[in-house]
């Protein structure tokens, strides 16, 4: 069983780590796109073509399940990928964890990229899942890019700026970009004590496992991890080492 994860950069690592933990026997194909990153500011049609092409590469590489652990890819191209691969290949998207945060917190800040923060997509999610909580968006300018570059100084500066613009008294922060869990420690340090963090990586991984099991196919993988960079065989970018991604992915294997 091969599961392909598609993202512009290192945002796929938290979901990959949870998949590794929940099902260490599943083979993972990590598809990053350094040639096209970041996806957030790109035109919608461009992102759709990029993600669909990555899905085609996944199928040619033997993937039986495709995961989009990226908010931009999910909101822009999820339905296009499903139409491309057909009903026999499960495609799992990513949604920010607004619903679970709003269920237990009276006030919530959604940290996300500037494009996502101003999008109709996020506004609709807040309206649908925010419940009685006071939910606000906070744009984390440059944070995802800094993570992809492995620039810890820039990442800390972006986190500090976002923390300063987060309303006082917020009880929960939703990490609305899949890159952000890679700097959880720095985010926790920048926020007041007691603020709870919510991200979607574990839920996406769990849903992926449920879809794998529903296929009813024997799993014969050995936990192999392969990396494609813009379709080319390679390895994780050296910037990943700044966030101990190798330790995270190897924690259960």
**Strand, helix or coil for residue 16:** helix
Active site residues: 70, 177
CB distance 1 to 64 below 8 Å: yes
CB distance 2 to 61 below 8 Å: yes
- Give CB contacts under 8 A, 24+ apart, made by 103-106: 103/131, 104/172, 104/196, 105/133, 105/170, 105/171, 105/172, 105/196, 106/132, 106/133, 106/134, 106/171
DSSP code, position 61: T
H or E element, residue 99: helix 98-104
**Strand, helix or coil for residue 221:** coil
CB distance 7 to 76 below 8 Å: no
CB distance 147 to 243 below 8 Å: yes
User: Residue 147's closest CA among 249, 245, 234?
Assistant: 245
CA–CA distance, 46 with 176 (Å, rounded to integer):
22
């Amino acid at each position: 069983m091969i599961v392909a994860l598609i993202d512009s950069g290192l945002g796929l690592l938290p979901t990959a780590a949870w998949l590794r933990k929940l099902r260490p026997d599943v083979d993972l194909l990590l598809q990053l796109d350094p040639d096209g990153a970041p996806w957030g500011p790109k035109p919608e049609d461009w992102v759709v073509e990029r993600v669909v092409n990555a899905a085609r590469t996944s199928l040619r590489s033997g993937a039986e399940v495709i995961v989009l652990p990226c908010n931009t890819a999910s909101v822009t191209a999820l339905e296009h990928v499903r139409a491309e691969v057909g009903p026999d290949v499960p495609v799992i998207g990513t949604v920010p964890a607004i619903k679970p945060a709003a269920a237990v917190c009276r006030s919530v800040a959604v940290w996300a990229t500037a494009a996502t923060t101003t999008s109709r997509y996020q506004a609709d999610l807040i309206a649908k899942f925010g419940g009685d909580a006071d939910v606000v968006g906070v744009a984390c300018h440059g944070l995802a890019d800094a993570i992809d570059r492995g620039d810890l100084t820039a990442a800390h500066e972006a986190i500090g700026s976002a923390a300063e613009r987060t309303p006082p008294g917020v009880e929960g922060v939703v990490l609305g970009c899949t890159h952000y869990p890679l700097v959880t420690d720095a985010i926790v340090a920048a926020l007041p004590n007691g603020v709870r963090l919510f991200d979607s990586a574990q839920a996406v991984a769990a849903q992926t496992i449920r879809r794998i099991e529903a296929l009813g196919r024997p799993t014969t993988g050995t936990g192999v991890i392969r990396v494609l960079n813009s379709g080319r065989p390679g390895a994780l970018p050296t910037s990943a080492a700044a966030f101990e991604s190798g330790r995270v992915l190897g924690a259960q294997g």
